[in-house]
Amino acid sequence: MSDPLKVAIVAVPEVTASTLYGMFDLFSSPGRDYQFITTGTPGDQRMKPFIVARERESFTAANGIQVMPDHSFTTAPQPDIVCIPDFFVNPGDSVAGQYGPEAEWLADVHRKGAVLASACSGAVLLGEAGLLANCDATIHWGYVRTLTNNYPNIKVNLNQPLVMGGTSHRLVMAGGGTSWQDLALYLIARHVGLKEAIEVAKTYMLEWHELGQQPFASLLSFRQTSDAVINKCQAWVADNYRLPSPATAMAEVSGLTTRTFIRRFRDATGMTPLDYVHALRLEEAKQMLETTDESIEAIANEVGYEDTSFLSRLFRRKVGVAPGEYRLRFGALRKAAREL
Protein backbone atom coordinates (compact mmCIF):
# COMPACT_ATOMS: atom_id res chain seq x y z
CA MET A 1 0.00 0.00 0.00
CA SER A 2 1.27 3.52 -0.81
CA ASP A 3 2.24 5.94 1.93
CA PRO A 4 -0.56 8.10 3.36
CA LEU A 5 -1.11 11.45 1.66
CA LYS A 6 0.46 14.32 3.57
CA VAL A 7 -2.13 16.99 4.46
CA ALA A 8 -0.82 20.21 5.99
CA ILE A 9 -3.31 22.33 7.94
CA VAL A 10 -2.16 25.93 8.35
CA ALA A 11 -2.58 27.55 11.77
CA VAL A 12 -2.34 31.26 12.49
CA PRO A 13 -3.01 32.82 15.92
CA GLU A 14 -6.45 34.01 14.75
CA VAL A 15 -7.49 30.52 13.58
CA THR A 16 -10.87 28.99 14.42
CA ALA A 17 -9.83 25.97 16.45
CA SER A 18 -12.98 23.97 15.76
CA THR A 19 -12.28 24.03 12.02
CA LEU A 20 -8.56 23.36 12.53
CA TYR A 21 -9.09 20.25 14.62
CA GLY A 22 -12.25 19.22 12.78
CA MET A 23 -10.21 19.06 9.59
CA PHE A 24 -7.53 17.13 11.43
CA ASP A 25 -10.09 14.52 12.55
CA LEU A 26 -11.72 14.11 9.12
CA PHE A 27 -8.41 13.76 7.30
CA SER A 28 -7.27 11.18 9.86
CA SER A 29 -10.35 9.06 9.21
CA PRO A 30 -10.19 7.65 5.64
CA GLY A 31 -9.40 3.92 5.62
CA ARG A 32 -9.24 3.77 9.43
CA ASP A 33 -12.44 4.67 11.29
CA TYR A 34 -15.26 3.11 9.27
CA GLN A 35 -13.60 -0.29 9.38
CA PHE A 36 -13.09 0.10 13.12
CA ILE A 37 -16.75 0.97 13.68
CA THR A 38 -18.03 -1.91 11.52
CA THR A 39 -15.49 -4.62 12.41
CA GLY A 40 -13.77 -3.55 15.60
CA THR A 41 -10.38 -3.40 13.88
CA PRO A 42 -9.04 -0.09 12.53
CA GLY A 43 -7.95 -0.07 8.91
CA ASP A 44 -4.90 1.52 7.32
CA GLN A 45 -4.92 5.31 7.53
CA ARG A 46 -4.90 6.80 4.01
CA MET A 47 -4.13 10.42 4.89
CA LYS A 48 -1.71 11.87 7.42
CA PRO A 49 -2.63 15.38 8.56
CA PHE A 50 -0.27 17.67 10.42
CA ILE A 51 -0.53 21.23 11.71
CA VAL A 52 1.98 23.73 10.36
CA ALA A 53 2.68 27.30 11.45
CA ARG A 54 5.40 29.95 11.36
CA GLU A 55 7.06 28.53 14.45
CA ARG A 56 6.76 25.15 16.13
CA GLU A 57 5.70 26.73 19.40
CA SER A 58 2.30 26.48 21.07
CA PHE A 59 0.01 29.49 20.92
CA THR A 60 -3.47 30.42 22.03
CA ALA A 61 -6.07 30.48 19.24
CA ALA A 62 -8.75 33.15 18.97
CA ASN A 63 -11.20 31.20 21.14
CA GLY A 64 -8.65 30.38 23.86
CA ILE A 65 -7.72 26.86 22.71
CA GLN A 66 -4.03 25.97 22.85
CA VAL A 67 -2.61 24.97 19.49
CA MET A 68 0.62 22.98 19.21
CA PRO A 69 1.94 22.88 15.60
CA ASP A 70 3.61 19.70 14.41
CA HIS A 71 5.97 21.58 12.09
CA SER A 72 7.17 25.05 11.25
CA PHE A 73 7.22 26.19 7.64
CA THR A 74 10.96 25.56 7.49
CA THR A 75 10.76 21.96 8.78
CA ALA A 76 7.48 20.76 7.25
CA PRO A 77 7.67 18.09 4.55
CA GLN A 78 6.32 18.97 1.11
CA PRO A 79 2.58 18.31 1.45
CA ASP A 80 0.29 16.77 -1.12
CA ILE A 81 -2.59 18.93 0.12
CA VAL A 82 -2.68 22.14 2.17
CA CYS A 83 -5.82 23.25 3.98
CA ILE A 84 -6.33 26.77 5.34
CA PRO A 85 -9.03 26.96 8.03
CA ASP A 86 -11.01 30.12 8.62
CA PHE A 87 -9.54 32.79 10.88
CA PHE A 88 -10.72 36.08 12.32
CA VAL A 89 -10.30 39.06 10.00
CA ASN A 90 -12.43 42.21 9.84
CA PRO A 91 -14.76 42.02 6.82
CA GLY A 92 -13.48 44.16 3.98
CA ASP A 93 -10.13 44.99 5.63
CA SER A 94 -6.76 44.42 4.03
CA VAL A 95 -4.32 42.10 5.81
CA ALA A 96 -1.42 43.06 3.56
CA GLY A 97 1.89 42.46 5.32
CA GLN A 98 0.42 40.58 8.27
CA TYR A 99 0.85 37.06 6.88
CA GLY A 100 4.05 37.26 4.85
CA PRO A 101 5.54 33.92 6.00
CA GLU A 102 2.26 32.11 5.38
CA ALA A 103 1.86 33.63 1.91
CA GLU A 104 5.44 32.81 0.95
CA TRP A 105 5.15 29.18 2.10
CA LEU A 106 1.79 28.68 0.38
CA ALA A 107 3.11 30.04 -2.92
CA ASP A 108 6.17 27.80 -2.64
CA VAL A 109 4.37 24.51 -1.92
CA HIS A 110 1.78 25.30 -4.59
CA ARG A 111 4.57 25.90 -7.11
CA LYS A 112 5.95 22.46 -6.17
CA GLY A 113 2.63 20.76 -6.90
CA ALA A 114 0.49 20.88 -3.76
CA VAL A 115 -3.27 21.33 -3.92
CA LEU A 116 -4.30 24.34 -1.81
CA ALA A 117 -7.73 24.41 -0.19
CA SER A 118 -9.35 27.11 1.94
CA ALA A 119 -12.40 27.31 4.18
CA CYS A 120 -14.29 30.55 4.72
CA SER A 121 -11.91 33.48 5.38
CA GLY A 122 -8.94 31.19 4.74
CA ALA A 123 -9.23 32.23 1.08
CA VAL A 124 -7.65 35.53 2.13
CA LEU A 125 -4.30 33.76 2.49
CA LEU A 126 -4.63 32.48 -1.08
CA GLY A 127 -5.06 36.10 -2.10
CA GLU A 128 -2.02 37.13 -0.07
CA ALA A 129 -0.02 34.39 -1.80
CA GLY A 130 -0.91 35.97 -5.16
CA LEU A 131 -2.88 32.95 -6.33
CA LEU A 132 -6.34 34.43 -6.89
CA ALA A 133 -5.71 37.04 -9.61
CA ASN A 134 -8.32 36.64 -12.40
CA CYS A 135 -9.68 33.58 -10.60
CA ASP A 136 -13.11 32.27 -9.63
CA ALA A 137 -13.37 32.06 -5.86
CA THR A 138 -15.70 31.73 -2.92
CA ILE A 139 -15.63 32.80 0.71
CA HIS A 140 -18.17 33.25 3.50
CA TRP A 141 -20.89 35.66 2.34
CA GLY A 142 -19.89 38.15 5.04
CA TYR A 143 -16.33 38.36 3.67
CA VAL A 144 -16.95 38.87 -0.04
CA ARG A 145 -15.63 42.44 0.15
CA THR A 146 -12.46 41.16 1.82
CA LEU A 147 -11.60 39.49 -1.48
CA THR A 148 -13.06 41.97 -3.95
CA ASN A 149 -11.63 45.05 -2.17
CA ASN A 150 -8.10 43.71 -1.90
CA TYR A 151 -7.29 41.34 -4.77
CA PRO A 152 -7.68 42.04 -8.51
CA ASN A 153 -10.35 40.68 -10.82
CA ILE A 154 -11.80 38.01 -8.54
CA LYS A 155 -15.23 36.60 -9.38
CA VAL A 156 -16.87 35.45 -6.14
CA ASN A 157 -19.50 32.71 -6.45
CA LEU A 158 -21.86 32.08 -3.53
CA ASN A 159 -24.08 29.60 -5.36
CA GLN A 160 -21.74 26.61 -5.08
CA PRO A 161 -20.55 24.98 -1.85
CA LEU A 162 -17.11 24.60 -3.43
CA VAL A 163 -15.28 26.51 -6.16
CA MET A 164 -12.24 25.14 -7.99
CA GLY A 165 -9.69 27.28 -9.80
CA GLY A 166 -6.12 27.55 -10.97
CA THR A 167 -4.07 25.13 -13.04
CA SER A 168 -5.48 21.58 -12.84
CA HIS A 169 -7.97 22.85 -10.26
CA ARG A 170 -5.25 22.94 -7.62
CA LEU A 171 -7.08 25.71 -5.77
CA VAL A 172 -10.22 24.62 -3.93
CA MET A 173 -12.34 27.00 -1.84
CA ALA A 174 -15.29 26.41 0.48
CA GLY A 175 -17.57 29.29 1.40
CA GLY A 176 -18.12 29.33 5.12
CA GLY A 177 -19.64 27.86 8.24
CA THR A 178 -19.64 24.08 8.08
CA SER A 179 -18.78 24.01 4.37
CA TRP A 180 -15.27 23.00 5.48
CA GLN A 181 -16.84 19.56 5.89
CA ASP A 182 -17.80 19.60 2.21
CA LEU A 183 -14.23 20.64 1.45
CA ALA A 184 -12.79 17.72 3.40
CA LEU A 185 -15.16 15.20 1.82
CA TYR A 186 -14.36 16.52 -1.66
CA LEU A 187 -10.61 16.27 -1.08
CA ILE A 188 -10.96 12.75 0.32
CA ALA A 189 -13.04 11.68 -2.69
CA ARG A 190 -10.65 13.31 -5.16
CA HIS A 191 -7.38 12.07 -3.70
CA VAL A 192 -8.28 8.85 -1.87
CA GLY A 193 -11.56 7.63 -3.33
CA LEU A 194 -15.31 8.14 -3.39
CA LYS A 195 -15.84 5.00 -1.28
CA GLU A 196 -13.64 6.39 1.49
CA ALA A 197 -15.37 9.80 1.34
CA ILE A 198 -18.77 8.13 1.75
CA GLU A 199 -17.45 6.09 4.66
CA VAL A 200 -16.19 9.24 6.38
CA ALA A 201 -19.56 10.93 5.79
CA LYS A 202 -21.32 7.94 7.36
CA THR A 203 -18.91 7.81 10.28
CA TYR A 204 -19.36 11.50 11.13
CA MET A 205 -23.00 11.71 9.89
CA LEU A 206 -22.21 14.53 7.46
CA GLU A 207 -24.48 15.89 4.73
CA TRP A 208 -23.42 17.72 1.57
CA HIS A 209 -24.48 21.38 1.52
CA GLU A 210 -25.65 21.41 -2.08
CA LEU A 211 -27.48 24.73 -1.89
CA GLY A 212 -24.42 26.87 -1.36
CA GLN A 213 -24.60 30.04 0.74
CA GLN A 214 -27.45 31.99 -0.85
CA PRO A 215 -30.19 31.01 1.60
CA PHE A 216 -27.95 32.03 4.51
CA ALA A 217 -26.64 35.29 3.09
CA SER A 218 -27.89 38.75 3.86
CA LEU A 219 -28.98 40.44 0.66
CA LEU A 220 -27.81 43.82 1.89
CA SER A 221 -24.23 44.97 2.11
CA PHE A 222 -24.29 48.36 3.79
CA ARG A 223 -21.34 50.47 2.78
CA GLN A 224 -19.85 53.28 4.79
CA THR A 225 -20.45 56.47 2.87
CA SER A 226 -19.72 60.14 3.38
CA ASP A 227 -22.67 61.10 1.14
CA ALA A 228 -25.09 62.67 3.64
CA VAL A 229 -27.88 62.89 1.06
CA ILE A 230 -27.76 59.17 0.34
CA ASN A 231 -27.53 58.38 4.05
CA LYS A 232 -30.74 60.38 4.56
CA CYS A 233 -32.41 58.43 1.75
CA GLN A 234 -31.33 55.10 3.23
CA ALA A 235 -32.77 56.08 6.61
CA TRP A 236 -36.03 57.16 4.97
CA VAL A 237 -36.50 54.03 2.89
CA ALA A 238 -35.74 51.77 5.88
CA ASP A 239 -39.05 52.98 7.34
CA ASN A 240 -40.98 53.38 4.08
CA TYR A 241 -40.02 50.53 1.73
CA ARG A 242 -43.56 49.10 2.00
CA LEU A 243 -45.00 52.15 0.23
CA PRO A 244 -45.75 52.10 -3.51
CA SER A 245 -42.78 53.22 -5.67
CA PRO A 246 -40.34 53.90 -2.81
CA ALA A 247 -37.37 54.20 -5.19
CA THR A 248 -39.08 57.12 -6.97
CA ALA A 249 -40.00 58.66 -3.62
CA MET A 250 -36.36 58.41 -2.48
CA ALA A 251 -35.29 60.51 -5.45
CA GLU A 252 -37.79 63.15 -4.36
CA VAL A 253 -36.51 62.99 -0.77
CA SER A 254 -32.97 63.54 -2.05
CA GLY A 255 -33.85 66.75 -3.89
CA LEU A 256 -31.61 65.62 -6.76
CA THR A 257 -32.50 64.99 -10.36
CA THR A 258 -33.40 61.37 -11.03
CA ARG A 259 -30.23 60.68 -13.04
CA THR A 260 -27.95 62.28 -10.44
CA PHE A 261 -29.71 60.48 -7.59
CA ILE A 262 -29.37 57.05 -9.24
CA ARG A 263 -25.68 57.64 -9.96
CA ARG A 264 -24.88 58.83 -6.44
CA PHE A 265 -26.93 56.06 -4.83
CA ARG A 266 -25.11 53.38 -6.84
CA ASP A 267 -21.73 54.93 -6.05
CA ALA A 268 -22.55 54.99 -2.32
CA THR A 269 -24.22 51.58 -1.93
CA GLY A 270 -23.15 49.49 -4.91
CA MET A 271 -26.83 48.94 -5.78
CA THR A 272 -29.47 50.75 -7.80
CA PRO A 273 -32.26 52.32 -5.72
CA LEU A 274 -34.75 49.72 -6.98
CA ASP A 275 -32.46 46.79 -6.19
CA TYR A 276 -31.90 48.26 -2.73
CA VAL A 277 -35.66 48.40 -2.12
CA HIS A 278 -36.05 44.78 -3.27
CA ALA A 279 -33.25 43.73 -0.92
CA LEU A 280 -34.90 45.48 2.04
CA ARG A 281 -38.23 43.85 1.25
CA LEU A 282 -36.70 40.39 0.84
CA GLU A 283 -34.79 40.66 4.13
CA GLU A 284 -38.06 41.51 5.89
CA ALA A 285 -39.77 38.61 4.10
CA LYS A 286 -37.02 36.26 5.28
CA GLN A 287 -37.50 37.41 8.88
CA MET A 288 -41.27 36.89 8.66
CA LEU A 289 -40.84 33.43 7.16
CA GLU A 290 -38.52 32.53 10.02
CA THR A 291 -40.59 33.96 12.86
CA THR A 292 -44.28 33.92 11.88
CA ASP A 293 -46.92 31.60 10.46
CA GLU A 294 -48.26 34.25 8.06
CA SER A 295 -49.13 33.01 4.57
CA ILE A 296 -46.83 33.84 1.66
CA GLU A 297 -49.58 36.09 0.27
CA ALA A 298 -49.84 38.00 3.55
CA ILE A 299 -46.06 38.40 3.74
CA ALA A 300 -45.94 39.68 0.15
CA ASN A 301 -48.55 42.34 0.99
CA GLU A 302 -46.80 43.25 4.23
CA VAL A 303 -43.46 43.95 2.57
CA GLY A 304 -44.96 45.91 -0.33
CA TYR A 305 -45.77 43.43 -3.13
CA GLU A 306 -49.35 43.08 -4.35
CA ASP A 307 -48.39 40.15 -6.59
CA THR A 308 -47.47 37.07 -4.55
CA SER A 309 -46.06 35.29 -7.59
CA PHE A 310 -43.65 38.20 -8.18
CA LEU A 311 -42.34 37.87 -4.62
CA SER A 312 -41.92 34.11 -5.08
CA ARG A 313 -39.98 34.49 -8.33
CA LEU A 314 -37.78 37.27 -6.92
CA PHE A 315 -37.18 35.32 -3.70
CA ARG A 316 -36.11 32.21 -5.58
CA ARG A 317 -33.78 34.20 -7.84
CA LYS A 318 -32.11 36.19 -5.05
CA VAL A 319 -32.20 33.71 -2.14
CA GLY A 320 -31.82 30.49 -4.10
CA VAL A 321 -34.90 28.66 -2.75
CA ALA A 322 -38.65 29.23 -2.80
CA PRO A 323 -40.21 31.05 0.19
CA GLY A 324 -41.92 27.86 1.38
CA GLU A 325 -38.66 25.90 1.35
CA TYR A 326 -36.88 28.73 3.16
CA ARG A 327 -39.54 28.59 5.89
CA LEU A 328 -39.13 24.82 6.24
CA ARG A 329 -35.38 25.17 6.67
CA PHE A 330 -35.19 28.16 8.99
CA GLY A 331 -38.63 28.56 10.56
CA ALA A 332 -38.50 25.07 12.02
CA LEU A 333 -35.05 25.74 13.46
CA ARG A 334 -36.22 28.98 15.10
CA LYS A 335 -39.32 27.24 16.49
CA ALA A 336 -37.26 24.39 17.93
CA ALA A 337 -34.88 26.86 19.57
CA ARG A 338 -37.80 28.68 21.24
CA GLU A 339 -39.12 25.41 22.65
CA LEU A 340 -35.84 24.40 24.29
Number of C-alpha atoms within 13 angstroms, CB side, residue 339?
6
Judged by average pLDDT, the poorest of 17-21, 136-140, 174-178, 290-294 is 174-178
pLDDT of res. 107? 96
The better pLDDT of the pair 115, 178 is held by 115
Fold of 5-215: Rossmann fold (3.40.50)
pLDDT of res. 92? 81
Segment 156-168 mean pLDDT: 80
Q: What is the DSSP string of 238-285?
A: HHHTTSSSHHHHHHHHHTS-HHHHHHHHHHHHSS-HHHHHHHHHHHHH
Most distant pair of Cα atoms in the chain: their distance = 76
Confidence at 62, pLDDT banded by 50, 70, 90: confident
pLDDT exceeds cutoff 70 at 213: no
> Cα–Cα distances in Å, from 208 out to 135, 143, 190, 242, 244?
24, 22, 15, 37, 41
Confidence at 146, pLDDT banded by 50, 70, 90: confident
In whole angstroms, what is the distance from residue 311 CA to residue 316 CA?
Answer: 8
pTM of the predicted model, to two decimals? Answer: 0.69
**5-215 and 228-339 share one fold:** no
What's the whole-number average pLDDT of the chain?
88
Q: Where are the domains of the chain?
A: 5-215, 228-339
At the top level of CATH, which class does the domain 228-339 belong to? Answer: mainly alpha
User: Which among 24, 9, 11 is positioned nearest to 53, based on CA atoms?
Assistant: 11
pLDDT of res. 201? 86
Segment 80-98 mean pLDDT: 90
